[in-house]
Amino acid sequence: MQASSLSAASSCAQSAPVRRWTTEAVLALYEMPLMDLIFRAQQVHRENFDANAIQRSALLSVKTGGCSEDCSYCSQSARYDTDLARERLMPIGEVVAAAQAAKDKGASRFCMGAAWRGPKDNDLDKVLEMVREVKALGMQTCVTLGMLKDGQAEKLKEAGLDYYNHNLDTDKEFYGQVIKSHTHDDRLDTLDQVRDAGINVCSGGIIGMGESRKNRAALIVQLANLPVPPESVPINNLVPIPGTPLADNPRLDPFEFVRTVAAARITMPGSWVRLSAGRQEMSDELQALCFLAGANSMFYGDHLLTTGNPEVDRDDALFARLGLKAV
Q: Please identify every residue annotated as catalytic.
A: 67, 71, 74, 111, 142, 202, 274
Distance CA 261, CA 284 (A): 16
Long-range contacts of the stretch 8-17 (C-beta < 8 A, 24+): 9/48, 9/49, 9/270, 10/48, 10/49, 10/231, 10/270, 10/271, 10/272, 11/270, 12/270, 13/48, 13/269, 13/270, 14/228, 14/229, 14/231, 14/270, 14/271, 16/270
Whole-angstrom CA distances from 32 to 38, 263, 267 are: 9, 11, 15
DSSP state letters, 89-128: PPPHHHHHHHHHHHHHTT-SEEEEEE--SS--HHHHHHHH
- In angstroms, the CA 218 to CA 220 distance is 5
Rounded CA separation 137/192 (Å): 29
* C-alpha Rg value of the chain to the nearest Å: 18
d(CA 129, CA 127): 5
Whole-angstrom CA distances from 105 to 272, 291, 304, 312 are: 21, 21, 15, 8
> Rounded to an integer, what distance in angstroms lies between the CA atom of residue 167 and that of residue 187?
8
